[in-house]
Amino acid sequence: MKRGTVVWVDLSDTNPPEMGKMRPGIIVSGRAHNEVLNTVVVVPTSSIAPEIRPLRLEVGNFSGKVTYAVIPGIRQVRKGRLRGVLGNLSPEHLAMLDECLDAYLR
């Protein structure tokens, strides 16, 4: 798994306001993390609009719908929760996601 890959991730067993169920997520952890640990860090996505930067960012069309990265939902998950690859973010979308993550985490 590499940074910027969009995967199906099982986020079940959560409580509101956490995002649950099976949904696309974007891997944002780096190579060192992904190669060594049995986890990845993902930003879950939603098809519910609107874009609200830096909290929600439109990142393209995955699983047949316009997709929004939900930055406050960032979380570490076991690789066993990953269920398949949907694609990769474009370099432009990954750069915008990095900007939103930076603004959100500061």
Q: What's the start-to-end Cα distance of the chain, in Å? A: 26
Q: Output the pTM of the full model.
A: 0.91
Domains of the chain listed by start with CATH number: 5-105 (2.30.30.110)
pLDDT number for residue 20: 60
Residue 1 reports pLDDT greater than 90: no
Per-residue pLDDT tens for 18-76?
556 889 999 999 999 999 999 999 999 999 989 999 999 999 998 788 999 999 999 99
CA angle 58/93/26 to nearest 5° reads 75
| Cα distances (Å, whole numbers) of residue 95 to 9, 43, 89, 90, 92 | 22, 14, 9, 9, 5
pLDDT number for residue 64: 86
